[in-house]
């Protein structure tokens, strides 16, 4: 299990990953179990939602979807806000730990005194990030399948899988941003800070753009726009957008390799 | 034989900090070289350049005949490194730590590692977080030695260790020399370097001040003596004793600075009734002052 930096990285994650996976699965299933209550009082729930200020509704529930339909409920309750939030915390924290965390802990110097190029180390660290987010997505998807099956929500398993792939790509892009800032600066705080600000701004711009002429043109710069506009199940996955998220990740990763290769490692 | 380490006009400048300036260094294969200087003089900076952890601003560096930047991987294959501020993975045990590092190297002879562990009387089953400073450093030493590297780079290996463990470390280094390994060790205490090294380079404020054979140094060692007499003794009595470079009244006794052999001073002291006498090694700045101030004036 300690064969190289990748296997060690995966091994280091064992316990905390279990907590994350169980916690997220629990949340997803719980929300699904709550659906019949909403469905059975659809009219009054919809009325309540319609009475909310538009900005509030867009940020916390989703944009103009029918909250009481199965797809709308899963989007509004799970996929548009809660899941991305939890995935981002996980991915950004993990991304920052890979290089910057190790550097601030003081172990990076010793690691790089071994015959291992920085490129190889970074590749192994990035692989840890990809595998961990993918595994968390599998847990998330599995919980959704259980939840919708229990409550006979039938949103279509293909659409559900597509939404999860999108969630994976979104989390991967922001986790990679965190990894890249960390690899370029060696500072854990900067990596978490920058990525969190970018994520929050992207979310808000996407949510509020339909209400504001000023923000409207910025919506296409938001990563969430390419995550099915934060309603991946209702709007559906578009391969072009998924490809775009992947391209952003690839560019960020390339920057990480270039910057990490050139700079001085801190004591 | 190729020199183990050569730096030519090595300069590393950080924004405000000095780093190192035009450092020339040549360390022969098979010698134990002490890199001596106060904290912040540039010792760690130099070491980090050798390992390609940081990149020189200018100058050329070769390690074991290889370019330290372009052939860094080949260099690191043949070097063992003990960092000054040693950080290890606190959640791993000693054994897991060594297995991990051995896997990164590949081809480590586990029997040999077992021998090192035994020699240092190290407990492999404990977690790193449960180890004392001395034992952590032992683990660091084992990982540096485990692949029988040609060159060992040890950054302040004994700082903060109790004398017994320091002694073990010095013994360990002496054995490495006997096996023909080259050792480059940094330190900020002269006695340590005198004990284990063949040659010593003095670095101060990023510049190499001098390189000396240790044997040449010992003859010129400087000591501070505090002597308390039964009756008051005038400082003038010692002013012209050979070797005494400074003398001053100090409470009820005298404070003497003596360079080189103590013989003449001791014989002069014997003429009086001595109550107590303490001798201590001067700090590095004093050593620099006594060794090089005269030389600067002469040149």
| Domain that includes residue A50, residue range | 5-262
Residues B56, B136, single domain; the answer is: yes
Residue A267 counted as domain residue: no
Residue B228 Ramachandran class (φ > 0 left, ψ -120 to 50 alpha, else beta): beta
Q: Are strands B58-63 and B199-204 parallel, antiparallel or unpaired?
A: unpaired
CB pairs under 8 A between A and B: 65
Beta bridge partners of B12: B20
Residue A238 counted as domain residue: yes
Residues B184, B235, single domain; the answer is: no
Residues of chain B with pLDDT under 70: 1, 17, 218-219, 281-299
Residue B64 counted as domain residue: yes
Q: B206, B202, B167: which is closest to B284 by C-alpha?
A: B202
**Mean pLDDT confidence for A48-74:** 83
**Contact criterion met (CB < 8 Å) for A113 and B103:** no
Of the residues B196, B218, B240, the one at which a domain ends: B218
Tell me what pLDDT residue A231 has. 86
Q: What number of H helices and E strands is found in chain B?
A: 11, 14
Residues of B with CB under 8 A from a CB of A: 44, 48, 51-55, 73-74, 76-77, 79, 81, 83, 85-89, 91-92, 96, 99-101, 103-105, 140, 143
Q: How many domains does chain B have?
A: 2
Q: A166, A130, A160: which is closest to A146 by C-alpha?
A: A160
**Mean pLDDT confidence for A136-146:** 98
CATH number reported for the structural domain that contains residue B198 in this entry: 3.40.50.300
**Confidence class for position A140, pLDDT limits 50, 70, 90:** very high
CA-to-CA distance for B238 and B247, rounded, in angstroms?
7
Contact (CB, 8 A) for B19 and B13: yes
Percent of chain A with pLDDT over 70: 99
Residues B122, B236, single domain; the answer is: no
Residue B22 Ramachandran class (φ > 0 left, ψ -120 to 50 alpha, else beta): left
Residues B244, B184, single domain; the answer is: no
Residue A111 counted as domain residue: yes
A2 touches B at CB < 8 Å: yes
CATH number reported for the structural domain that contains residue B238 in this entry: 3.30.70.260
Contact (CB, 8 A) for B58 and A120: no
Beta bridge partners of B199: B33, B213
User: Per residue in A165-198, pLDDT tens?
Assistant: 999 999 999 999 999 999 999 999 999 999 999 9
A99 touches B at CB < 8 Å: no
Residues B169, B214, single domain; the answer is: yes
- The DSSP call for residue B13 is -
pTM of the predicted structure, to 2 decimals: 0.89
Sheet holding B66-67, edge to edge: B20-27, B5-12, B58-63, B66-67
Tell me what pLDDT residue B292 has. 60
Residues B91, B170, single domain; the answer is: yes
Q: What number of H helices and E strands is found in chain A?
A: 13, 0
Contact (CB, 8 A) for A251 and A105: no
Residue B145 counted as domain residue: yes
Q: How many domains does chain A have?
A: 1
Residue B146 counted as domain residue: yes
For residue A205, give Cα distances in angstroms to A76, A88, A178, B290.
17, 17, 20, 69
Of the residues B218, B236, B260, the one at which a domain ends: B218
Of the residues B179, B201, B218, the one at which a domain ends: B218
Residues B204, B159, single domain; the answer is: yes
Residue A245 counted as domain residue: yes
- B9: tokens are 């006009």
**ipTM score of the complex?**
0.91
Residue A249 counted as domain residue: yes
User: Per residue in A82-120, pLDDT tens?
Assistant: 999 999 999 999 999 999 999 999 999 999 999 999 999
Residues B110, B242, single domain; the answer is: no
pLDDT at A61 over 80: no
Residue A76 counted as domain residue: yes
**Confidence class for position A64, pLDDT limits 50, 70, 90:** low
**Contact criterion met (CB < 8 Å) for B101 and A114:** yes
Say what angle helices B133-145 and B163-178 make with each other, to 10 degrees: 10
Tell me what pLDDT residue B239 has. 87
What three-state secondary structure class fits A211? Answer: helix
For residue B27, give Cα distances in angstroms to B9, B34, B258.
15, 10, 31
Residues B151, B238, single domain; the answer is: no
A261 touches B at CB < 8 Å: no
- A88: tokens are 């981002």
- The DSSP call for residue A236 is -
| Domain that includes residue B260, residue range | 222-280
Chain-wide mean pLDDT for chain A?
93
- CB < 8 Å to A111, chain B: 104
**Contact criterion met (CB < 8 Å) for B87 and A106:** yes
CA-to-CA distance for A191 and A255, rounded, in angstroms?
14
- DSSP output for A90-111: HHHHHHHIIIIIHHHHT-HHHH
First to last CA, chain A: 28
Residues B158, B239, single domain; the answer is: no
Nearest CA in chain A to B91: A12
Residues B54, B187, single domain; the answer is: yes
CA-to-CA distance for A256 and A250, rounded, in angstroms?
10
Residues B68, B188, single domain; the answer is: yes
**Contact criterion met (CB < 8 Å) for B53 and A113:** yes
């Amino acid at each position: 299990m300690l064969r190289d930096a990748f296997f060690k990285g995966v091994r280091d994650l064992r316990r905390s990953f279990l907590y994350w996976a169980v916690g997220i699965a629990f949340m997803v299933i719980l929300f699904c179990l709550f659906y019949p209550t909403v469905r059975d009082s659809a009219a009054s729930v919809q009325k309540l939602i319609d009475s909310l200020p538009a900005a509030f509704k867009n940020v916390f529930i989703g944009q103009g979807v029918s909250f009481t339909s199965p797809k709308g409920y899963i989007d509004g309750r799970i996929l548009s806000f809660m899941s991305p939030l939890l995935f981002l915390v996980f991915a950004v924290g993990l991304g920052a730990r890979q290089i910057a965390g190790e550097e601030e802990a003081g172990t990076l110097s010793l690691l790089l005194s071994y015959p291992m190029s920085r490129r190889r180390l970074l590749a192994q660290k990035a692989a840890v990030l990809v595998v961990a987010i993918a595994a968390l997505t599998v847990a998330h998807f599995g919980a959704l399948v259980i939840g919708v099956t229990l409550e006979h929500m039938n949103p279509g398993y293909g659409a559900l899988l597509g939404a999860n792939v999108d969630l994976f790509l979104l989390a991967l892009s922001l986790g990679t941003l965190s990894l890249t800032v960390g690899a370029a600066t060696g500072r854990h705080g900067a990596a978490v800070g920058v990525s969190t600000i970018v994520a929050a701004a992207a979310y808000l711009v996407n949510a509020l753009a339909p209400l504001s002429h000023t923000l409207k043109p910025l919506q296409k710069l938001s990563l969430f726009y390419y995550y099915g506009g934060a309603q991946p199940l209702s709007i559906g996955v578009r391969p072009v957008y998924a490809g775009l998220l992947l391209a952003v990740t690839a560019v960020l990763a390339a920057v990480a390799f270039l910057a990490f290769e050139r700079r001085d490692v801190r004591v | 034989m190729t020199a183990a380490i050569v730096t030519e006009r090595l300069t590393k400048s950080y924004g405000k900090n000095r780093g190192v300036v035009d450092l020339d260094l040549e360390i022969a294969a098979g010698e134990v070289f002490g890199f001596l200087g106060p904290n912040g003089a540039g010792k760690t900076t130099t070491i980090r350049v050798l390992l390609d952890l940081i990149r020189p601003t200018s100058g050329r560096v070769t390690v074991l005949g290889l370019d330290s930047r372009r052939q860094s991987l080949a260099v690191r294959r043949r070097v063992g490194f003990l960092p000054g501020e040693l950080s290890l993975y606190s959640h791993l045990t000693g054994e897991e730590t060594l297995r991990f590092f051995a896997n990164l190297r590949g081809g480590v002879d586990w029997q040999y590692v077992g021998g090192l562990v035994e020699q240092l009387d190290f407990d492999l089953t404990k977690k790193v977080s449960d180890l004392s400073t001395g034992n952590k450093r032992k683990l660091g030493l084992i990982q540096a030695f485990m692949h029988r590297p040609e060159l060992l780079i040890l950054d302040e290996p004994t700082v903060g260790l109790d004398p017994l463990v320091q002694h073990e470390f010095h013994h360990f280094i002496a054995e490495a020399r006997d096996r023909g390994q080259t050792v480059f060790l940094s330190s900020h205490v002269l006695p340590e370097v005198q004990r284990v090294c063949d040659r010593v380079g003095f670095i101060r404020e990023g510049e190499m001040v001098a390189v000396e054979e240790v044997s040449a140094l010992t003859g010129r060692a400087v000591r501070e003596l505090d002597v308390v007499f039964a009756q008051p003794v005038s400082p003038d009595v010692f002013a012209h004793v050979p070797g005494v470079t400074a003398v001053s009244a100090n409470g009820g006794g005298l404070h003497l600075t003596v360079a080189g052999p103590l013989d003449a001073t001791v014989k002069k002291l014997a003429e009086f009734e001595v109550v107590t006498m303490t001798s201590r090694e001067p700090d590095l700045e004093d050593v620099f002052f006594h060794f090089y101030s005269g030389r600067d004036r002469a040149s």
